[in-house]
Protein backbone atom coordinates (compact mmCIF):
# COMPACT_ATOMS: atom_id res chain seq x y z
CA UNK A 1 0.00 0.00 0.00
CA UNK A 2 2.06 2.91 1.25
CA UNK A 3 5.50 1.65 0.29
CA UNK A 4 4.67 0.59 -3.25
CA UNK A 5 4.39 4.03 -4.78
CA UNK A 6 7.71 5.05 -3.30
CA UNK A 7 9.61 2.64 -5.52
CA UNK A 8 11.47 5.13 -7.73
CA UNK A 9 14.04 6.16 -5.11
CA UNK A 10 15.27 2.59 -4.87
CA UNK A 11 14.90 1.47 -8.44
CA UNK A 12 16.45 4.63 -9.88
CA UNK A 13 19.73 4.08 -8.08
CA UNK A 14 21.05 1.33 -10.35
CA UNK A 15 20.74 3.23 -13.67
CA UNK A 16 22.24 6.36 -12.16
CA UNK A 17 25.25 4.32 -11.12
CA UNK A 18 25.59 3.08 -14.69
CA UNK A 19 24.16 -0.40 -14.16
CA UNK A 20 22.27 -2.38 -16.77
CA UNK A 21 20.35 -4.47 -14.26
CA UNK A 22 17.82 -7.23 -14.17
CA UNK A 23 14.82 -7.49 -11.91
CA UNK A 24 14.37 -10.74 -10.05
CA UNK A 25 10.74 -11.12 -9.00
CA UNK A 26 8.74 -13.73 -7.14
CA UNK A 27 6.48 -15.73 -9.45
CA UNK A 28 4.05 -16.34 -10.97
CA UNK A 29 4.26 -13.23 -13.12
CA UNK A 30 0.49 -13.00 -13.55
CA UNK A 31 0.00 -12.86 -9.78
CA UNK A 32 2.43 -10.09 -8.85
CA UNK A 33 1.33 -8.30 -5.75
CA UNK A 34 0.65 -4.59 -5.93
CA UNK A 35 4.13 -3.78 -4.62
CA UNK A 36 5.76 -6.24 -7.06
CA UNK A 37 4.03 -4.62 -10.01
CA UNK A 38 4.90 -1.15 -8.74
CA UNK A 39 8.57 -2.00 -8.14
CA UNK A 40 8.79 -3.38 -11.66
CA UNK A 41 7.12 -0.23 -12.99
CA UNK A 42 9.65 1.86 -11.04
CA UNK A 43 12.51 -0.18 -12.49
CA UNK A 44 11.23 0.40 -16.02
CA UNK A 45 10.59 4.11 -15.42
CA UNK A 46 14.09 4.54 -14.01
CA UNK A 47 15.67 2.91 -17.06
CA UNK A 48 13.58 5.07 -19.40
CA UNK A 49 14.53 8.25 -17.51
CA UNK A 50 18.21 7.24 -17.61
CA UNK A 51 17.91 6.61 -21.37
CA UNK A 52 18.75 2.92 -20.93
CA UNK A 53 17.13 0.43 -23.31
CA UNK A 54 14.31 -1.63 -21.77
CA UNK A 55 15.14 -5.30 -22.31
CA UNK A 56 12.32 -7.62 -21.20
CA UNK A 57 14.80 -10.52 -21.11
CA UNK A 58 16.28 -8.85 -18.01
CA UNK A 59 13.00 -9.33 -16.13
CA UNK A 60 12.79 -12.83 -14.66
CA UNK A 61 10.53 -14.45 -12.10
CA UNK A 62 11.10 -17.12 -9.52
CA UNK A 63 8.91 -18.53 -6.76
CA UNK A 64 9.92 -17.33 -3.30
CA UNK A 65 12.12 -19.78 -1.36
CA UNK A 66 12.67 -21.91 -4.47
CA UNK A 67 16.41 -22.55 -4.76
CA UNK A 68 16.09 -24.36 -8.09
CA UNK A 69 13.88 -21.58 -9.50
CA UNK A 70 16.31 -18.89 -8.37
CA UNK A 71 19.25 -20.79 -9.87
CA UNK A 72 17.34 -21.14 -13.16
CA UNK A 73 16.42 -17.44 -13.17
CA UNK A 74 20.07 -16.50 -12.55
CA UNK A 75 21.13 -18.87 -15.33
CA UNK A 76 18.64 -17.24 -17.70
CA UNK A 77 20.04 -13.79 -16.92
CA UNK A 78 23.69 -14.82 -17.16
CA UNK A 79 23.19 -16.69 -20.44
CA UNK A 80 21.94 -13.59 -22.24
CA UNK A 81 24.15 -12.27 -25.03
CA UNK A 82 24.61 -9.16 -22.88
CA UNK A 83 24.09 -10.28 -19.27
CA UNK A 84 23.28 -7.68 -16.63
CA UNK A 85 25.96 -6.07 -14.51
CA UNK A 86 23.47 -5.72 -11.64
CA UNK A 87 20.29 -7.38 -10.43
CA UNK A 88 17.60 -5.70 -8.36
CA UNK A 89 15.82 -8.36 -6.31
CA UNK A 90 12.50 -7.14 -5.00
CA UNK A 91 13.03 -8.70 -1.56
CA UNK A 92 16.15 -9.07 0.59
CA UNK A 93 15.40 -12.77 1.06
CA UNK A 94 15.37 -13.22 -2.71
CA UNK A 95 18.61 -11.21 -3.02
CA UNK A 96 20.27 -13.52 -0.46
CA UNK A 97 19.13 -16.57 -2.43
CA UNK A 98 20.41 -14.95 -5.61
CA UNK A 99 23.85 -14.36 -4.07
CA UNK A 100 24.02 -18.02 -2.98
CA UNK A 101 23.07 -19.13 -6.51
CA UNK A 102 25.79 -16.91 -7.98
CA UNK A 103 28.38 -18.35 -5.60
CA UNK A 104 27.30 -21.89 -6.52
CA UNK A 105 28.35 -21.18 -10.11
CA UNK A 106 31.51 -19.39 -8.92
CA UNK A 107 30.41 -15.88 -9.80
CA UNK A 108 31.50 -13.42 -7.14
CA UNK A 109 29.30 -10.46 -6.35
CA UNK A 110 31.12 -7.18 -7.13
CA UNK A 111 33.73 -8.80 -9.39
CA UNK A 112 31.17 -9.52 -12.09
CA UNK A 113 27.75 -8.46 -10.86
CA UNK A 114 26.10 -6.27 -8.21
CA UNK A 115 23.00 -7.22 -6.22
CA UNK A 116 20.48 -4.84 -4.65
CA UNK A 117 17.66 -6.03 -2.40
CA UNK A 118 14.56 -4.38 -0.99
CA UNK A 119 13.17 -4.18 2.57
CA UNK A 120 16.33 -3.80 4.70
CA UNK A 121 15.54 -6.90 6.71
CA UNK A 122 17.96 -7.80 9.50
CA UNK A 123 19.57 -10.36 7.19
CA UNK A 124 20.58 -7.53 4.84
CA UNK A 125 22.86 -6.05 7.47
CA UNK A 126 24.28 -9.47 8.40
CA UNK A 127 25.01 -10.27 4.74
CA UNK A 128 26.31 -6.76 3.97
CA UNK A 129 23.56 -6.57 1.32
CA UNK A 130 22.90 -3.24 -0.38
CA UNK A 131 19.18 -2.63 -0.12
CA UNK A 132 16.33 -0.18 -0.28
CA UNK A 133 14.85 0.54 3.15
CA UNK A 134 11.30 1.35 4.01
CA UNK A 135 9.85 2.18 7.41
CA UNK A 136 7.40 -0.50 8.61
CA UNK A 137 6.23 1.78 11.45
CA UNK A 138 5.48 4.62 9.00
CA UNK A 139 3.64 2.15 6.76
CA UNK A 140 1.61 0.86 9.70
CA UNK A 141 0.79 4.36 10.91
CA UNK A 142 -0.30 5.47 7.43
CA UNK A 143 -2.41 2.33 6.97
CA UNK A 144 -4.12 2.86 10.35
CA UNK A 145 -4.83 6.52 9.57
CA UNK A 146 -6.25 5.57 6.18
CA UNK A 147 -8.41 2.83 7.72
CA UNK A 148 -9.75 5.22 10.36
CA UNK A 149 -10.53 7.79 7.69
CA UNK A 150 -12.47 5.20 5.69
CA UNK A 151 -14.37 4.07 8.80
CA UNK A 152 -15.22 7.59 9.99
CA UNK A 153 -15.99 9.23 6.64
CA UNK A 154 -18.44 7.49 4.32
CA UNK A 155 -17.41 9.93 1.56
CA UNK A 156 -13.68 9.14 1.89
CA UNK A 157 -11.80 8.50 -1.34
CA UNK A 158 -11.54 4.70 -1.61
CA UNK A 159 -8.86 4.95 -4.29
CA UNK A 160 -6.55 7.19 -2.25
CA UNK A 161 -2.92 6.12 -2.54
CA UNK A 162 -0.32 7.13 0.02
CA UNK A 163 3.31 7.57 -0.98
CA UNK A 164 6.00 7.07 1.64
CA UNK A 165 9.73 7.59 1.14
CA UNK A 166 12.32 4.86 0.80
CA UNK A 167 16.08 5.21 1.13
CA UNK A 168 19.01 3.44 -0.41
CA UNK A 169 21.45 1.71 1.94
CA UNK A 170 24.63 0.95 -0.02
CA UNK A 171 26.62 -1.90 1.49
CA UNK A 172 28.96 -4.53 0.15
CA UNK A 173 26.99 -5.98 -2.79
CA UNK A 174 26.95 -3.03 -5.18
CA UNK A 175 29.74 -1.31 -7.07
CA UNK A 176 30.29 0.33 -10.45
CA UNK A 177 29.99 -2.18 -13.29
CA UNK A 178 33.12 -4.19 -14.05
CA UNK A 179 35.31 -3.08 -16.94
CA UNK A 180 34.73 -4.78 -20.30
CA UNK A 181 36.73 -7.98 -20.80
CA UNK A 182 39.52 -6.36 -22.84
CA UNK A 183 40.07 -3.63 -20.27
CA UNK A 184 40.17 -6.15 -17.39
CA UNK A 185 43.10 -7.90 -19.03
CA UNK A 186 45.06 -4.64 -19.27
CA UNK A 187 44.18 -4.01 -22.90
CA UNK A 188 42.87 -0.45 -22.70
CA UNK A 189 40.88 0.52 -25.78
CA UNK A 190 43.24 3.47 -26.25
CA UNK A 191 46.45 1.42 -25.90
CA UNK A 192 48.59 1.46 -29.02
CA UNK A 193 46.78 4.44 -30.53
CA UNK A 194 48.45 7.71 -31.33
CA UNK A 195 47.18 10.46 -29.07
Name the residue ranges covered by the structural domains of the chain.
Answer: 4-135+164-172
- Give the Å distances, CA to CA, from 16 to 27, 49, 70, 116, 177: 27, 10, 26, 14, 12
Strand 59-62, strand 22-26: pairing? parallel
pLDDT confidence tier of residue 90, bands split at 50, 70 and 90: confident
Q: Specify the higher pLDDT residue, 169 or 51.
A: 169
Residue 193 confidence (pLDDT): 39
What does the pLDDT read at residue 15?
A: 42
* pLDDT computed for residue 58 by the predictor: 84
Q: What is the pLDDT of residue 84?
A: 85
Tell me the pLDDT band of 180, cut-offs 50, 70 and 90: low
CATH number given to 4-135+164-172: 3.40.50.2300
192 against 144, higher pLDDT? 144
Question: What pLDDT, on the 0 to 100 scale, is given for residue 130?
Answer: 95
Model pLDDT, residue 159? 81
Confidence at residue 185, expressed as pLDDT on a 0 to 100 scale: 54
Contacts of 24 (CB under 8 A, 6+ apart): 60, 61, 62, 70, 73, 74, 77, 87, 88, 89, 90, 94, 95, 98
Residue 188: pLDDT above 60? no
| Model pLDDT, residue 9 | 47
Comparing 6-10, 21-25, 47-51, which segment has the lowest mean pLDDT? 6-10
- Show the DSSP H helices in 12-155 as ranges: 13-16, 34-49, 67-78, 92-104, 122-126, 136-152
Q: Binning pLDDT at 50, 70 and 90, where does residue 157 land? A: confident
Which uninterrupted H or E stretch holds 89? strand 86-89
- What pLDDT score does 33 carry? 60
Question: Residue 13 pLDDT more than 80?
Answer: no
pLDDT, residue 194, reads 43
pTM: 0.73
pLDDT digits (tens, 9 = 90+) for 32-61: 466 677 777 777 888 788 787 778 888 887
Amino acid sequence: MAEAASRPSGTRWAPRAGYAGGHLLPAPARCHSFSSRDRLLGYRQALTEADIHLDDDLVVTTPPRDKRGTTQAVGNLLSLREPPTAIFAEQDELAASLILSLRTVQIEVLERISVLGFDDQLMAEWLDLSTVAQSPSDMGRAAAELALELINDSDADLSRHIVLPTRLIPRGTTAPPPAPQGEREGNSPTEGRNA
